[in-house]
Structure 1
Amino acid sequence: MLRWTLAKILQTAAVLLIVSAASFSLLKLAPGDPVELMLGDDYSKESHQTLMVQLGLDRPLPEQYVDWLGRFVRGDWGTSFVSRTPIFQYAFVEALPVTLTLSAAALGLALLIGVPLGVLSAVRKDSAWDAAAAAFSLTGSAFPSFYLGILLIWIFGVAFGLFPTMGFVAPWQDFWGGAYHLVLPAITLSTPFMALIVRITRANLVEVLEQPYIAAARARGEPAWRITWVHGMRNVLMPLATIVGLQLGALLHGAVLTETVFSLPGVGRMITDAVLNREYMVVQAGVMMTGCLVIFTNLAVDLSYPLLDPRLRPR
């Protein structure tokens, strides 16, 4: 078990190294000179060359990459030339908690509603409940998230005035105020994910409930809730965990649009503003953070498989 875990961790480290090299190389190919953007319109060749040397941009790319990676690991991500603040403070301390809070709220809402709805659809197969759940899952998957966000703002924010339409309140400072501000963004971000969870839960549970051991449990007179939630859902957890891990990237991608629509100061909005301002160092930090989140989530999912299914435990 320990050897298998170490192998997974080494694979994760290798993937992180590849992601860092790819993000560094691709952003170097992006148009525009970061030194010109930092100096402005009026500068001399001497000041341009001096800043190039200070930033290490006159050195070969492999040497720049090694230096950048070392500084990135130490938390020295450079300084934003727009806000004049350290990028680590801007990205990791200020923006990342907002995105993680929004993603956690969306994921929790998707699981809280999607799993019971998928179970109900499987247990009441071919009923009106099943048809309604199928209609919801198809509509939720096809509906553009940004358009859903605008509709929610218009209906519940402007027309009825029930929820705020923009801004962020940290739940760790004011829990109820933060939850109140996250209602509409969390619904917007979680709806496509919720629809996918309904379909996955329903499809797997329908198959599981037809297995012989489920018939044996019914013959023993076990309660219906135990057959479904204990015997049945135990075998649905693995595909559900896989979907959660694989869809985290889509969740972070959706956070970009959601944060833009609701004016949330998260990583998605940070990357959008940085692209518009051509702050490539900020974009690089955002890409690395989201890449690390996806990779570490997939690692956690891989490590959870032996816990969910004893047959997968190394012998």
Structure 2
Amino acid sequence: MFRFIAGKVFQTLFVLFLVSVASFTLLKLAPGDPIEIALGNEYSEEAHQDMLAELGLDRPVVEQYVTWLADFVRGDWGTSYTARADIFTYAFVEALPVTLTLAVFALGLAILIGVPLGVLSAVKKDTLWDAGSAAFALTGTAFPSFFLGIVLIWVFGVKFAMFPVMGFVAPWEDFWGGLYHMVLPAFTLSTYFMAMIVRLTRANLVEALESPYIAAARARGEPGWRVVWVHGVRNILMPLVTIIGLQLGVLLQGAVLTETVFSLPGAGQMITNAVLNREYGIVQAGIMMTATLFVLVNLAVDLAYPILDPRLRPSR
């Protein structure tokens, strides 16, 4: 088991190394001169060269990468030359918790609604409930999240004034206030994910309910709820966990548009502003944070497989 875990951890570190190389290299090839933005419209050649040397951009690319990676691992992510703020504090302490809060609320909402709806669709197969669930899943996957966010703002924020349409309240400071502010953004972000869970749960549970062990459980006289939720749902946990891990990238990608629509000061909006301002240090920090989060979740999914299915546990 130790070798299995060590191998997965090594793969995770190797993927993060490749992401760091790719992001650093591609940003170096991006058009525009960040020093010109930092110095403004009027500057001397001497000032340009001095700042080039100060940022270490006059050194070979490999040396720049090694220096940047060593500083990044230590938590020294540099300073924003437009905001004159520490990038680690701005990205990791201020922006990332907002994005994680949005992602956690959206994921929780998708699971709490998607799984029961998928179970209901499977149990009520070929009925009106099943047709309604299928229509919801199809609409959820086809509806653009940014347009849905605008519609929700107009209906529930402007028309009925039920929920706030912008701003962020930290739930660790005011849980109910944070939850209240997260209703519309979380629902907007979770809709596609929710539809995927409904379809996956329905398809796998329909197959599971036709299995011999389900027939045996029913023959023993076990209650219907136990047959479905214990014997049936337990055996579809692996595909559910897999889709949660694989779709996290989609969730983070959608967070960029959602944060922009609802004016949330998260990592998505931070990266967008950094790209427009040629803040390559902030862009690299954002890429590495989201990549690390993505591969860590997938690592957790891989490590969960032997727990969910004992047949996958490595032999000693």
TM-score, normalisation: structure 2: 0.99
* 1:223-234 alignment runs, 5 A limit: 223-234=223-234
Letter in 2 for 1:46: E
Distance of 2:54 and 2:160 partners within structure 1: 55
Tell me if 1:173 matches 2:173: yes
Residue equivalent to 2:203: 203
Residue equivalent to 1:125: 125
Residue equivalent to 2:146: 146
Asked if structure 1 preserves the Cα contact closer than 8 Å seen for 2:137 and 2:198, the reply is yes
* 1:210-225 alignment runs, 5 A limit: 210-225=210-225
Q: Deviations over 1:59-87 (max 9, x none)?
A: 11111100000011111111112211011
Distance of 1:161 and 1:36 partners within structure 2: 45
Letter in 2 for 1:192: Y
SS in structure 1 at match of 2:13: helix
Letter in 2 for 1:111: I
Of residues 36-45 and 190-199 in structure 1, the stretch that sits farther from structure 2 once superposed is 36-45
Residue equivalent to 1:57: 57
Distance of 1:14 and 1:278 partners within structure 2: 28
SS in structure 1 at match of 2:17: helix
Of residues 205-214 and 277-286 in structure 1, the stretch that sits farther from structure 2 once superposed is 277-286
Residue equivalent to 2:265: 265
Deviation at 1:283, TM superposition (A): 1.0
Tell me if 1:248 matches 2:240: no
Letter in 2 for 1:304: A
Distance of 2:16 and 2:275 partners within structure 1: 23
Asked if structure 1 preserves the Cα contact closer than 8 Å seen for 2:33 and 2:278, the reply is no
Deviation at 1:14, TM superposition (A): 0.4
Distance of 1:108 and 1:125 partners within structure 2: 25
Q: Deviations over 1:192-229 (max 9, x none)?
A: 10000000000000001111111111111111111111
Residue equivalent to 2:42: 42
Residue equivalent to 1:298: 298
Letter in 2 for 1:17: F
Residue equivalent to 1:106: 106
Letter in 2 for 1:266: G
Q: Deviations over 1:176-196 (max 9, x none)?
A: 111000000000000110000
Deviation at 1:42, TM superposition (A): 1.5
Asked if structure 1 preserves the Cα contact closer than 8 Å seen for 2:166 and 2:263, the reply is yes
Deviation at 1:45, TM superposition (A): 1.4
Aligned pairs, number: 315
Distance of 2:221 and 2:281 partners within structure 1: 63
Distance of 1:82 and 1:154 partners within structure 2: 34
Distance of 1:81 and 1:56 partners within structure 2: 14
Of residues 193-202 and 31-40 in structure 1, the stretch that sits farther from structure 2 once superposed is 31-40
Runs of 4+ in structure 1 off by over 3 angstroms are none
SS in structure 1 at match of 2:72: helix
Distance of 1:82 and 1:300 partners within structure 2: 37
Deviation at 1:240, TM superposition (A): 0.3
SS in structure 1 at match of 2:182: helix
Asked if structure 1 preserves the Cα contact closer than 8 Å seen for 2:166 and 2:264, the reply is yes
Unaligned runs of 5+ in 2: none
Deviation at 1:278, TM superposition (A): 1.7
Distance of 2:225 and 2:151 partners within structure 1: 37
Deviation at 1:309, TM superposition (A): 0.4
Asked if structure 1 preserves the Cα contact closer than 8 Å seen for 2:141 and 2:195, the reply is yes
Deviation at 1:90, TM superposition (A): 0.6
Of residues 37-46 and 249-258 in structure 1, the stretch that sits farther from structure 2 once superposed is 37-46
* 1:64-83 alignment runs, 5 A limit: 64-83=64-83
Deviation at 1:37, TM superposition (A): 1.6
SS in structure 2 at match of 1:9: helix
Deviation at 1:49, TM superposition (A): 1.1
SS in structure 2 at match of 1:139: helix
Residue equivalent to 1:8: 8
Distance of 1:286 and 1:83 partners within structure 2: 16
TM-score, normalisation: structure 1: 0.99
Deviation at 1:314, TM superposition (A): 0.6
Deviation at 1:54, TM superposition (A): 1.4
RMSD: 0.7
